[in-house]
Structure formats: structure tokens, C-alpha cells
Chains A and B, each alone.
Chain A
Amino acid sequence: MKIGLIVNPVAGLGGAVGLKGTDGPEIVAEALRRGAVAQSGLRARRAMARLAVRHPGAEVIVAPGALGADWVAGLELRVRIAALPAAQGSAQDTIAAVQALRPCDLLVFAGGDGTARDVASAAGQGVGLMGIPCGVKMHSGVFAVSPEAAGSALADLLADPAALRWDDAAEIMDIDEDILRAGRLAPRLYGYARVPQLRSRMQAAKGGPRQDAAAALAGAGAEIARALVRDTLYLIGPGTSAAAVLQALGQRSTVLGTDAYLNGAIVARDARSQDLERLAAGRPVQIILGVTGRQGFLLGRGNQTLSAALIARAGRTGLIVLATPEKLNALAQPMLWVDTGDPGLDAQLSGFVQVHTGPKQRRMMRIGAAA
């Protein structure tokens, strides 16, 4: 198990001084002008200090200088510093560092959603990620709950590498900061990353069967697929959970966009709201959705192509939701959230929905209005 560490030294700068994020050099300059003090390095050090206490002498490969090495100095760790070109003070630094640390099995990064996007795209598939939460925006499913929790999780992984299981379906989400600053949230799903499953150790201790999240989703997807009716337009939202229904129907899904399914065929792929609204005219509409990890968003995060008009057509009873029990158990609050942009509609959607958690398994979840 090789662990790499990358610090985005400017992550989170914007938050403390009233900016909505820190994407791009102009914003960094503005944040510094407003007196922002970088926190990400200190938070990375908190995580690594916990690792050093729990697992003294653990080996960590780090990016040089402020991108890593500065923050682990003096800790009881075996530190190797990767060779890198001089830092530019931009996202290029993160990407170059990821490439230099690529032989690692697990890349630990200190940053927010923007850093997660950069790290995930540069690392490619098959490299595990763990975020030390430092950013202004943290909608992605790759972050530990605190720096100390990240350090503890690393120590657990090193203590028992055989127990490690990967989850390849952690969402990488980010918000377009320009739009956020104008007062609207518009997060997008950028892809999926591999993260270590931080399981309770109960299963192994009891020798019981491991829960298979993929099998649970496939079973739930097949059950929903069998119950689809003719002449209803089904909108399949972004995400691997909703995609399980199309998979059960033998169809390929867009995963990162919204597809439409009618009478046994996909009638629109990665469609825009206007196209979906045209298809929905004169027909019943149902929407098949997953849930975003940790935050528990159902509508309004990463699936903005589902317009308020379309959601209103479906109503709460027209929402078909899939999520694994593990994902629901890991939510920060036991709630699902909607933010459709229409407060009246959000209020109408509030109430309970049955989430399909596996074949013949459901969980009642309360929907609340995010605003």
C-alpha cells in the first residue's frame, strides 16, 4: 500500500473572506488581497500527525515544498519527496504532482471539490483517492469527515491492508463558482473516483457475508425495470444508481447526463431540459434518481437538466429512487434534499419517499427542501 500526499496550498482561501470558492488565479489573488490565510497545509498536517501517532514510521510519498513536504516535516513518518518541476501556483501544480505520485495506490489530497476534480482527472481510473477536507465546496464523495478522521483511516488501512475494499463509485462533483457567486447553485457531476470503503470492522469479525453494493443496485434496478409501464416517459437521472435500471433493460446509459426511456427504447440521450419537456408533453412522467453521497441530494445537485417543470409533472409519487443502504447510512443527516429552484415545488416534494435499496428492500426517507 503506497500512500501519496498532495496539498493544494490555496484550497479554501476564498471561503473565509466571503468568496464562494478559489477556482483560478484571479480569485486566489483576490482572496489574498482580502487577507485570507491558507488553511489546507495545516489541515493536511493534522491528518498526517494523526497517522504518525497511530502508525509511526508509515511511509508517505509527498510532493515537494508547499505542495506536501513542508507540512510533514518533523512528524514520525518515513517521507519520500517526489521530484517535480517548480510550482506555478495553479491547477497545473496539482496535475503535475499527481503524475509524479502515480505509482501510489492511494492519493491523499488536501483541498476541496476543485482539487478533487483535478486530482481525479489526472490520476485516472484505478488510483484510490482520499480527500482531507479543506475547500469551500465539498460536494464530492471522496472526503473524510475531518483531517483527524482521514489520518485514522490511513492508519487503519496500513494496519490491516487485507481488509481494504475499494468503492469505484464516489461522485466527483463541482459547482461553477461564477454562477454560485451570482446566487445560484449549479453543481455538476464530473465523474466517479475510487475510494477506500471505510467499513465497520464488524463484518469481518463475525465472518458474515460482505454486502455487495453493486449486486444490491443491480437487483433494485432489475425490480424497477420489471415494473415500468407503457406510455409513461421515464427520465433517468445522472449517476450509476439510476443507470442500474437502464442496465437491467439492456441499455447503455449516459451516466453523467439525463436519458429518456419510453416504450422499450431510449428516446433521448444526455438530453437538455427543453428536449425532455417536449418529449414529456401529453404523457405521464416518472423520474429515476440516485442520491449524492454524504449530502443526500436528490434533486438540484448534479441533475439540473431535470427542470422544475419536469419535476412538477412527476411529483413526489413519480420519483423512483435507488441507493445502497451503505450510502444512506453514511449521509450526514438521515434526510434527502431537493433544491429545484422553485420553493413551492420543493415544499410539495417534502415528505416521505421509498428508496429502493436492493431487491425487495426499501427504506423510507424524508425529503426536505434544501433552501
Chain B
Amino acid sequence: MTRLPNFHAAKWDEPVVMQLGRPGGRGQLFPAPEPEVAETVGANPVPEAMRRKDRPVLPEITEFEAQRHYLHLSQMTLGMMGVSLFGTCTMKYNSKTSEFATWRPEIAEVHPYQHPDTLQGVLEIMHDFGGILQSLSGMDQFVFQPGGGADAAYTMTAVARAYWADRGQLGQRTEMVTSIQAHPCNPATAAAAGFTVINLPLEENGYPSLEALKAAVSERTALIMLNNPDDMGIYNPEIRDWVKAAKDVGALCFYDHANFNGVMGKLSARELGFDACMFMLHKTFGAPKAGGGPAVGAFGCTAELAPYMPAPIVVKQGDTYALDEDRPKSCGKIREFWGNVPQVVKAYAWARAMGAEGIQMASDISVVANNYMDHRLAQLPGIARSNPDVTKRRMEMTRWSLAPLHEETGIGTVEIANRMADYGIDPWWMSHEPWIVPQPFTPEAGELWSKEDIDLWIDVLAKIMQEARENPELVRTAPHNQPIAQVKGDAFEDPSQWAMTWRAFVRKRDQAAAQGAA
């Protein structure tokens, strides 16, 4: 067995930055302007009307103290400092090379309102990266405006709405069909766009039956939205028949590629019959997740749907690149400007570094790594694989259940996730809603993590399961080696207990004090 780390996180127990420092504390002291300068611009170059009357409430600390404070805060975060096999999120290393590329002035110091003639470099990257995604999907056009996967799913529903409205059938095509195990952004965005959502249940094979789909689709179906493989890690081999059943009633088909890692380079959404798809650049393509945003959900579709995409579209005219805003059938803006351009640059850098062969190999590695995990996890008593009767190999992730251990010890997936942090392992991903599998967890190794990392992760899980049997209280009250203990979720529903700004904090603190005194 791997030696488990004797880990303890840093705990600095220091106040927020607004409460640090002292009056007069400064990061840098600037010299007074030379007499010639003062004479030229006047004693106070800020016009009277624009001058503030009060002093801003800012922290008054030295540069060194600010640096130290934020270093301490960074030491008290969990993310990516251990091993993070966070399923459905495809955790990848965000290379410093691509980070440096976005610091270059050609990216960092440009603005979308500049004339396109001065933006040729970044437009070329966006155009060419669109081409890479076209070759991975078979789609005809990509756009990077959506700020994440859910935003890209919403883009699909907006495109479908514009497409059916243009054909005078929006009043008839009111329904969207999806699987209950599809990522929740699919039903949620379709509902937000005004469609009635029809969910298909999972049946014996671990995915919905073709029969259920055929019973659900009709001349009322506007579109179907699917993941494949889904989060159980099961690839639906009937996918061509699914697309055909939807096409037979005239519906549009959208492939949500959230779980692309196990199939990248192996299949093409277009070749399977889909009209549109979406890739998450912050998952599959090695761009950072940035703590929930900014991200990019790259949306691609066929030439038939392209007129309805959000504008602008980056186009190549001869040797120059331009922004095509004149798209009268467009569904409109999904987000401002062109999307999170630095993310596109980083994803482009990743794809160019990997190359077509590298992308193929990465998907092989991620499936092999998950099957190695499956093999080892199956030997741990107390956990069960989802759909245990499905004997086919899983793809790049597998949903597991801790129900047997929970029945035996009362320790479930939430407690184990908390305890993992005590070993320097990032708490696992459990499951999207609804929890069809009780006490779920969903590891995904991807192509990044080494066999040693995967073994450590499994050995930590085995150790915690042993603790659950021998000393359940230790697990139930975890984490113990982290800067804060369990987060009490109830506080999130009581605005008096949290503040997003210093001003709100001061107001709520004073209100609470006044109420306490009264």
C-alpha cells in the first residue's frame, strides 16, 4: 500500500484584508510631481466635479503585507493541491506556457472595440481553433460566446427557438426530450427558453431505451439534448438510432460533449447525425476552470443552423480575418463580445501542443486509467458500481455507490468527501441531481494523473472506509486537518450571516450589534 501523507493544511487565522494594516500604510510611495509637470497640468488635474469628497475605504497596508496575506489565503484553499479525480469535470493541468501566451500584449492589452485590422492575430487564433473543433466534431461553424457549458446548452435552445420560429413552427415545436441522467443544464436551459421538458428514465442497460425515446418524440419535439457517455460511464451504442428516431419526426439533435474525454478523436457528432454540439474548453481542452468562471462552452453546428448562431462570427476573407455581425436570423447575443478570449487561446495552445495523435492517445489513456480504477475499486468491500448488471467496460469515468458502507456504518459519501481533504486529496464529485444512485461518487482520472496518484487516491479511500468501520465519529466530524471544519449549509439561506462586500459586512454587523443591544 502507498504511504499515506501525514498532511495538515495551513491555518493562518488572520482577519480579512480590510482589517489588516494601519492608517497611512501604503504599497508604494510616489514622489510629488516635478514643478514643471505641476505647472503644466495644474495643481490638481482632476476636475472639481469628479473629485470625491470622502476618502475611499481601502486597506492601508504595505505591498509586502498584501502579498503575504494573499499567499496565506492561497495556502488555505483546497483546489488542485492534492489529487483531484473530480468526475464529469475532467481535471487537467493548466500549463504555464499557455498562461504566458495570454499575458502577451497582443491578448492582454487589446479590446474588442478596436478595429479588426488591429486584431488580426487573436482573430486568426479564434478562427483556426474553430477549425480544430470542426475537425473533431464535423460541424461547420463554431462560436465561443457562451461563458460555460450551461451557457452553450442555452445557446442551443436559443438557436432552436430561432430555427423553428423562422419556419413558422415554434408554436407547434414546444418540447425538448432528454435523459434523466443528462447534465441538468440541458433540461434547465430548455425550460428557461420556454420548452416543455420530457425526461427519459434509465432502464436496464444503464441508459434510456430507444422505445422510450420513440414514445416521447413527435411532431411537437423541437430538439433532443444528450450526453454520451453519461455520468455512469456507459456509452449508449444505439446513439445512431436515437438520432434517426428524432430526425424522423423532424427534431434537432444536440450532443452535449461534457463527457468528451473518453471519445475525443474517436467519433464525430456530425457523423452520428447530430445538428449541433458543445465542447467545454475549461474541461477537455486544458483551459482553467477559474473557480466557476470565466469558462467557455464552444458551440458548433451545421451550416443549416449556422444562420441562427449568436453573432459575431469570426470569418476569413482572403488573407484577413473579420467579424461578421450582419446575421439577420441570429438568435441574438448570448454574452457580450466574443466570449472569454484568453480561454480560447489557452485551449488552442493545448490542442496545438497535443496534436491529433496526442488527443487520440489522451482519450485512450483516460479510458484505461478509469478501467484500472474500476478494477481496484471493485475489490473494496462496501462500495458498489452503478448498474452492476452492465458488464461492459466503462468509459472515462464510472459512477459508484457507497450505499453498502452507509448501511453498515452510517458513513456516506458526504462524510467521506470531507475526510478525504484530511489526506490532502480533493473531495470527490458525488453526482448531479437527481441522485439515482444512492450515496454516489464519480471519479475520473483523465490522462493527467499518474498510476501513483490513482493508487494514492484509492488507498486513501480504503483507509477512510476502514476508519468508518472502526471509528465512524472520526469520519463523521471530518475534516480535522483543514483550516476550517464542516461548512454549515444553512447559513447560505440566511443573508444576515454572509456578506459579499465590506460595506455589506459592516452594515450587517452593525445591524446585528444594534439588535443585540436592543
Contacts and interface: CB of A to CB of B under 8 A. Distances in A.
A363 B215 contact: no
A350 B472 CA distance: 47
A361 B196 contact: yes
Interface stretch (A31-39, A72-80, A164-172, A196-204): A196-204
A363 B198 contact: yes
Given A351-B215, A360-B196, A364-B216, A325 B434 contact: yes
A288 B141 CA distance: 47
B456 interface: no
B434 A329 contact: yes
Interface in B457-510: 472, 487, 489-490, 492-493
A352 B211 contact: yes
B199 interface: yes
A364 B492 CA distance: 34
A363 to B, nearest CB: 5
Contacts of A325: 434
A288 B410 CA distance: 40
Interface stretch (A15-23, A94-102, A148-156, A300-308): A148-156
A205 interface: yes
A344 interface: no
A50 B407 CA distance: 9
Contacts of B430: 202
Contacts of B412: 201
A149 B407 contact: yes
Interface in B180-225: 180, 187, 191, 195-203, 208-209, 211-212, 215-216
Contacts of B191: 360-361
Contacts of B198: 354, 362-364
Interface string A328-339: 110000100000
Interface residues of B, number: 35
Nearest to A205: B489
B199 A362 contact: yes
A149 B212 CA distance: 33
Interface in A186-220: 200-207
A328 B202 CA distance: 12
Interface residues of A, number: 35
B212 A352 contact: yes
Contacts of B436: 329
Given A329-B434, A329-B436, A361-B197, A155 B216 contact: no
A206 B489 contact: yes
Contacts of A53: 410
A107 to B, nearest CB: 22
B202 A334 contact: yes
Majority secondary structure of chain A interface residues (helix, strand, loop or mixed): helix
Contacts of B180: 363
Nearest to A163: B490
Interface string B357-389: 000000000000000000000000000000000
A299 B212 CA distance: 21
Nearest to B190: A360
Given A148-B407, A200-B435, A202-B435, A362 B203 contact: no
Given A152-B406, A361-B191, A363-B201, A352 B216 contact: yes
Interface in A269-308: none
Contacts of B197: 360-362
A313 interface: no
Contacts of A357: 199
Contacts of A352: 211-212, 215-216
* Residue in B197, B212, B410 whose Cβ sees the most chain A Cβ within 10 Å: B410
A162 interface: yes
B414 interface: yes
A155 B414 contact: no
Contacts of A29: none
Contacts of A328: 201
Interface of B: 180, 187, 191, 195-203, 208-209, 211-212, 215-216, 406-407, 410, 412, 414, 430-431, 433-436, 472, 487, 489-490, 492-493
25 contacts: A155-B410, A156-B410, A163-B490, A201-B412, A202-B414, A202-B435, A204-B490, A207-B489, A207-B492, A325-B434, A329-B436, A334-B201, A352-B212, A357-B199, A360-B191, A360-B197, A361-B191, A361-B197, A362-B196, A363-B199, A363-B201, A364-B199, A364-B216, A365-B201, A366-B201
Given A204-B490, A361-B197, 13 more contacts: A53-B410, A155-B410, A156-B410, A163-B490, A201-B414, A202-B431, A205-B487, A329-B434, A362-B198, A363-B200, A364-B199, A364-B201, A364-B216
